[in-house]
């Protein structure tokens, strides 16, 4: 059975909106103001190496599908492009990015069935609305956060409207300017 791993860049005050600056958020690109160093690159690389598939919301999928096919010069880009990708959407007509599939049914049923089909980690990045639904449905097995030392005071927060949930700290690390936290189910 697969393990659902949510991985997010987040500010100290819980904002995860537009870390790369590709959206119209006035504070977008906040993650690029800091170094994550070789430890941070290893943290992100290890989670992608361990992933058997990706689960994405429509907005993140469309952004990734536009950018990643042009980045095949290293193992990271190759893996992103070749691995199976599942996009949760009721509006996406087609998923043309290599090895992509659209999931159209109920979130809990579709993700539970996906976890039964995939033996390893299923990685979720970005995908704010999807992550909120996954947290609310108690489908997340592991939460990986790279916390950046900035307080924005506004923006979409990771913890949206999901019910309270206790987590167990599984790993704590430092990656240059950031802190890495890995939580598992309690």
Residue 167 inside a domain? The answer is: no
Cα–Cα dist 8/13, whole Å: 13
Which residue bears the tokens 């500010």?
Answer: 11
Tokens of 110: 């579709």
pLDDT at residue 162 in the model: 67
Q: Is residue 180 part of a domain?
A: no
The CATH number of residue 38's host domain is: 3.40.430.10
| Residue 177 maps to a domain | no
Q: Is residue 184 part of a domain?
A: no
Confidence of residue 159 (pLDDT cuts 50, 70, 90): confident
Dist CA 113 CA 122 (whole Å): 12
| Number of independent structural domains in the chain | 1
Residue that has been written with the tokens 């927060």 in this structure: 157
Is residue 141 situated within a structural domain? yes
Q: Is the pLDDT of residue 72 over 70?
A: yes
Q: Which two tokens stand for residue 62?
A: 């469309």
Could you give the percent of the chain with pLDDT greater than 70? Answer: 98
Contact 87, 72 (CB under 8 A): no
Residue 166 has pLDDT above 80, yes or no: yes
Would 110 be classed as within a structural domain?
Answer: yes
| Other Cβ atoms within 10 Å of 47 Cβ, number | 17
d(CA 94, CA 104) in angstroms, rounded, equals 11
What pLDDT sits at residue 176? 93
Per-residue DSSP letter, 28: T
Domain ranges, residue 73: 3-156
Asked if 124 and 52 touch (Cβ cutoff 8 Å), the reply is: no
Please list, in sequence order, all residues whose beta carbon lies within 8 angstroms of the beta carbon of residue 41, skipping any fewer than 6 positions away: none
| 9-59 residue pLDDT tens | 999 999 999 998 888 899 999 999 999 999 999 999 999 999 999 999 999
Type and span of the H or E element at 61: helix 58-67
Nearest residue to 57 (alpha-carbon basis) of 90, 35, 79: 90
Residue 186 is assigned to a structural domain of this protein: no
Dihedral over Cα of 168, 170, 172, 175: its sign: negative
Distance between CA atoms of residues 166 and 19, nearest Å: 26
pLDDT in tens, 93-102: 899 999 999 9
Q: Identify the residue whose tokens are 């049914």.
A: 105
């Amino acid at each position: 059975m697969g393990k659902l791993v949510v991985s997010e860049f987040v500010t100290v005050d819980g904002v995860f909106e537009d870390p790369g600056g590709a959206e119209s958020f006035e504070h977008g690109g906040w993650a690029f103001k800091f170094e994550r160093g070789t430890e941070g690159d290893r943290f992100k690389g290890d989670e992608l190496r361990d992933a058997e598939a990706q689960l994405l919301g429509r907005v993140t999928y469309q952004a990734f599908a536009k950018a990643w096919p042009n980045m095949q010069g290293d193992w990271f880009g190759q893996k992103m492009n070749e691995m199976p990708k599942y996009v949760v959407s009721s509006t996406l007509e087609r998923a043309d990015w290599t090895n992509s599939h659209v999931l159209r049914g109920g979130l809990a049923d579709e993700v539970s069935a996906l976890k039964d089909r995939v033996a390893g980690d299923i990685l979720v990045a970005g995908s704010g609305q999807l992550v909120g639904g996954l947290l609310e449905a108690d489908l997340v097995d592991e939460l990986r956060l790279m916390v950046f030392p900035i307080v924005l005071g506004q923006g979409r927060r990771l913890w949206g409207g999901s019910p309270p949930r206790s987590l167990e700290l599984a790993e704590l690390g430092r990656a240059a300017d950031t802190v890495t936290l890995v939580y598992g189910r309690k």
